[in-house]
A = this chain, B = another copy of it.
Amino acid sequence: MNPIHTQRLENLRARMAATATDLVVIGPSSHMLYLTGVSPHGDERPVLLMVSQSFAGFLMPALNVDSARQHTDLPFFPWADAEGPDAALKDILAATGTSPIAPSIVLDETMRADFALLVIDALPGAHRRFTHDTVGYLRSRKDESEYEALKKSAILNDAAMAAGFAALREGITEREIASVIRDFYKNNGATPEFTSVCFGPNGAFPHHHTGDTQLKSGDAVLIDTGGRIGGYPSDMTRVGYFGSVPDNFAEIHAILDRAVQAAIAAARPGAKASDVDKAARDIITAAGYGPNFLHRTGHGLGIDIHETPYITATSETVLEEGMVFSIEPGIYLQGQFGLRLEEIVIIRNGQAEVLSEMKRDAVATN
């Protein structure tokens, strides 16, 4: 096994001890990849990683065992299509040494419902929770190599974003701009993850589906995009306009930039995630646009584009060195436009360091 995975399983067991957790059960997910380096073939056949203080191993469909064995030396409990997973599940649970009397278990919140219910039904007295204070906690505190990978990904994303804005011209569609950005990732060794391009009023939908809307003069433009390189993604939003500047654009842009700055200033070790949300939200509320800021201020970023910590109005998560998350206040004006500015920051050396090197200025094109 790769030493990094040996270390991560050790770290997990320390967290399990600190949180009185008897058993951690992980589906085929980024959690599994993080802990073991294994990214098994994913379909409806149950695959589970189980970790206790004395055991780590996989419940695995028999037909995938030979292939998975090339990637780990953890033990497998295989099951065949004809028999189903029940007997193998019983065996692996016994191997974990988990007491059937009210054990405390952690379930991977991202796994399929039927995988989770296999475990829940096998341990009916279990106290269950999700991974936020075990695997999620470990993943939220990035090490130096993860910082470097995220930084590299962010810098490439700056160039992808610039390429997207540079391609704007009268009549081009949102989809065509997204395609330019995706090609940029591919041509630079990265994998496109998501690209949202919104022209004019479409930007007022925070999760608008990039479509066939054509660009025209006076449109606001919002681009939210991320790619993946070296195993780690990027995520950034910038806004601009084409031809003439839309009414109210400059005012809204300036409010959002101040909100980002306030949130960055609030993001320090020991602060709560809710303090960061409040810093951004207070600026927007004071400016009279509170009801138009429809969502939380941010989300963690690591192997996953959304992960712990979430930056919400109610989160009690205390920020620590190594945590990476987005700060992305937005103001959405139905029928007019929506603007959002998004930075990825890491808590590092006692403050929030922004990974991107692209200015947050409005990008004026014509």
In chain B, what residue has the closest Cβ to A307?
B44
* Chain B residues, Cβ within 8 Å of A128: 117
Q: Could you tell me if B81 and A296 are in contact, using CB atoms closer than 8 angstroms?
A: yes
A313: Cβ under 8 A from any B Cβ: yes
Q: Could you tell me if B112 and A64 are in contact, using CB atoms closer than 8 angstroms?
A: no
Q: Could you tell me if B206 and A82 are in contact, using CB atoms closer than 8 angstroms?
A: no
Q: A82-B314, A314-B82 are in contact. Are A206 and B113 (CB under 8 A)?
A: no
Q: Could you tell me if A209 and B84 are in contact, using CB atoms closer than 8 angstroms?
A: no
Count copies of this chain in the complex. Answer: 2
Q: What bracket does the count of chain A residues touching chain B fall in? A: 35 or more
Contact of A205 among B44, B66, B109, B130 (CB under 8 A): B66
Contact of A113 among B66, B80, B107, B294 (CB under 8 A): B107
Q: How far is the CA of A332 from the CA of B43 in the complex (A)?
A: 20
Q: Could you tell me if B82 and A312 are in contact, using CB atoms closer than 8 angstroms?
A: yes
A114: Cβ under 8 A from any B Cβ: yes
Q: Could you tell me if A82 and B296 are in contact, using CB atoms closer than 8 angstroms?
A: yes
A110: Cβ under 8 A from any B Cβ: yes
Determine which residue in A62, A112, A207, A312 has the highest number of CB atoms from chain B within 10 A of its CB, and name it: A207
* Chain B residues, Cβ within 8 Å of A67: 205-209
A295: Cβ under 8 A from any B Cβ: yes
A115: Cβ under 8 A from any B Cβ: yes
* Chain B residues, Cβ within 8 Å of A114: 109-110, 130
Q: How far is the CB of A326 from chain B (nearest CB, A)?
A: 13
Determine which residue in A108, A114, A130 has the highest number of CB atoms from chain B within 10 A of its CB, and name it: A114
A306: Cβ under 8 A from any B Cβ: yes
Known: A62-B294, A66-B205. 7 other contacts (CB 8 A): A63-B206, A63-B207, A63-B294, A107-B113, A112-B112, A113-B130, A116-B117
> Which residues of A come within 8 Å of B, CB atoms?
27, 41, 43-44, 62-64, 66-67, 80-84, 107-117, 128, 130, 204-209, 294-296, 306, 312-314, 334
